[in-house]
């Protein structure tokens, strides 16, 4: 292992950050550069330049820090410092990683803000669910929404926490809590029973439990898609005359 303390050459302590290394080098270079000092002796300048070049190499710096750690921790424990420098370095690395992640998240949020998903058309007063969901306006919106989510595959994942927060207020459809709070069926009253539902073709997610489902069951009125488990729960509730006061002959989907 290289026993030379490159950090000390720059007047720094072990595990100094890259920004600290650059700042220290520029400050010392102004003092020791032959053009600035007027001296023909370039020893000091070559020393700090070599230290800067070594520590600027990310791979070398990581290996150097790792090999130097045991020796420095032993020395620091004798003078009362303990492993605090190691902890400080690890905390700094974690902070830089967190900052990088936050920057990426902020960039994604800005992209979504500038290009938000298309909004569904407004529902007319007293318009039935069947008329609304099979209208030209809704069909056109559904196509645009599908294209948007194909271009932004992580949009639903990034906003899943927000959906869960909204659904915690008790928004329901067909008696079950709707986890997809953005789904237009949330809070609507749909009187169609599961016997009127249709089996879909393809893969999607259940609006109630958010689990992936293939060939799920969809209500043609409010367009909710349910997995077999949730469909069974809804059907069982429909057969129960004691379910929240609703009769077995007519079931209100909102489940209020």
Backbone angles phi, psi at 172, to 5 degrees: -130, 160
More confident residue, 198 or 150: 198
Residues in Cβ contact with 37 at an 8 Å cutoff, skipping those fewer than 6 apart:
31, 45
Per-residue tokens: 204: 């999607």
Beta strands in 146-255 (DSSP E): 172-173, 176-177, 198-199, 203-205, 212-214, 217-218, 225-226
Per-residue tokens: 208: 């109630």
Straight-line distance from the first to the last Cα atom of the chain, in angstroms, rounded to the nearest whole number: 72
Query: Which residue shows structure tokens 């032993």?
Result: 74
- Give dist(CA 179, CA 230) in Å, integer: 12
Sequence ranges of the domains in the chain: 6-112, 159-245
Taking alpha carbons only, the member of 143, 123, 120 closest to residue 132 is 123
What share of the chain has pLDDT > 70, as a percent? 62
Residues in Cβ contact with 238 at an 8 Å cutoff, skipping those fewer than 6 apart:
193, 194, 248, 251
Per-residue tokens: 174: 């067909």
pLDDT of residue 131: 77
Residue 156 pLDDT exceeds 60: no
Exposure string of 28-50, with b = 16+ CB inside 10 Å and e = fewer, is: beeebbeeeeeeeeeebbebbbe
Q: How confident is the model at residue 196 (pLDDT cuts 50, 70, 90)?
A: confident
pLDDT of residue 250: 41
Query: Which residue shows structure tokens 């039935």?
Result: 128
pLDDT by residue (tens digit) across 70-106? 565 555 544 444 445 556 656 665 665 666 556 655 6
List 23's β-bridge partners, or say none. none
Query: Which residue shows structure tokens 């902070």?
Result: 95
pTM recorded for the entire structure = 0.32
Please provide the CATH number assigned to the domain covering 6-112: 1.10.287.110
């Amino acid at each position: 292992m290289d026993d030379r303390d490159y950090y000390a050459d720059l007047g720094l302590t072990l595990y100094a950050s890259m920004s600290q290394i650059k700042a220290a080098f520029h400050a010392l270079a102004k003092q020791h550069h032959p053009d600035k000092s007027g001296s023909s002796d370039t020893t000091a300048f070559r020393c700090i330049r070599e230290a800067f070049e070594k520590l600027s190499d990310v791979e070398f710096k990581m290996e150097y820090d790792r090999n130097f750690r045991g020796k420095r921790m032993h020395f620091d424990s004798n003078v009362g410092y303990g492993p605090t420098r190691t902890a400080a370095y690890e905390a700094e690395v974690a902070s830089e990683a967190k900052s990088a992640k936050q920057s990426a998240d902020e960039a994604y949020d800005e992209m979504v803000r500038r290009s938000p998903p298309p909004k569904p058309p407004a529902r007319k007063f007293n318009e039935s669910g069947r008329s609304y969901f099979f209208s030209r306006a809704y069909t056109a919106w559904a196509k645009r929404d599908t294209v948007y989510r194909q271009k932004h595959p992580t949009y639903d994942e990034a906003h899943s926490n927000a959906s869960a927060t909204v659904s915690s207020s008790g928004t329901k459809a067909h008696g079950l809590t709707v986890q997809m709070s953005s789904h237009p069926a949330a809070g609507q009253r749909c009187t169609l029973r599961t016997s009127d539902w249709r089996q879909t073709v393809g893969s999607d997610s259940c609006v109630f439990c958010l689990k992936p489902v293939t060939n799920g069951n969809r209500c043609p009125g409010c367009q909710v898609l349910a997995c077999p488990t949730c469909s069974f729960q809804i059907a069982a509730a429909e057969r129960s005359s004691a379910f929240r006061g609703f009769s077995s002959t007519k079931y209100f989907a909102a489940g209020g």
